[in-house]
Amino acid sequence: MKTPQLLPGERIDQLYSQDIQIIQSSQVFSFSLDAVLLANFAKPPLKQAGKLVDLCAGNGAVGLFMAPRVKGQIAMVEIQPRLADMARRSVALNQLGEQITVYEQDLATIFNQIHKDSVDTVVCNPPYFADLPDSKKNPNQYLAIARHEIATSLETVIEVTSGLLKMNGKAFFVYRPDRLLEMTSMMAKHRLAVKRIQFVYPKAGKDANIMLVEAIKDGRATGLKILPPLMTYDESGEYSAPIKKMLYGD
């Protein structure tokens, strides 16, 4: 791999389980465990011609981490130019330019690049917090946009997801458990039937702080599965065995 030019404050990290390198910056954006959880939870398209779209892609972590399991094309959509640039350079770093395309634009306008009803799988790690007048936002504009619904909203993300997907196409989200009812209600409104949910807990005895959700476009409203709980840390304070496997492999 040819090392790309790094901007001030940037570094190259590695997800060892997938042998993927990614450009990060503590000043701009670094992927969190959420991205690893989503990439592991999501099921890639099975067909060689299957298309996967990563919305709210950030620096491209989810799409990059899934690339070794995806046979077809991957599209990343990110509104922030600096993050989209980091994603492009990470794609080049991993020599995935023939498989992955990065679109630097508002996801609400993506239909001018990707046709409606043409995508097999959508993955998304959307902003977790509503943009309320009294909400406390990070002074760093990159982090504020990534975490709060400033540039998009949960409903817009779900509406665009549904618009992109073919009938029976699948969507995978990582989100906050306290917005579960809001998310499932919006999904039902936009023709997405929730099929699998897994709650992630910091450790045993604590409330869940992350949820993983799978939905199918135009699927039946029955058949929801709640998967076994996933613990981030074990009793000794180390990453649990499942998390270690996601990060470092067997």
**Greater confidence, 5 or 74?**
74
pLDDT in tens, 122-149: 999 997 555 445 555 455 554 444 453 4
**Has residue 3 been placed in a domain?**
no
d(CA 245, CA 104): 32
**Has residue 205 been placed in a domain?**
yes
**Has residue 1 been placed in a domain?**
no
Closest of 106, 12, 91, 114 to residue 56, by C-alpha: 106
d(CA 90, CA 12): 9
- What range defines the domain where residue 222 resides? 10-248
pLDDT in tens, 158-215: 999 999 999 999 999 999 999 999 999 999 999 999 999 999 999 999 999 999 999 9
Q: Among positive and negative, which fits the CA dihedral 99, 102, 107, 111? A: negative
d(CA 177, CA 207): 9
d(CA 76, CA 71): 16
Q: What is the CATH number of the domain that holds 117?
A: 3.40.50.150
- Number of independent structural domains in the chain: 1
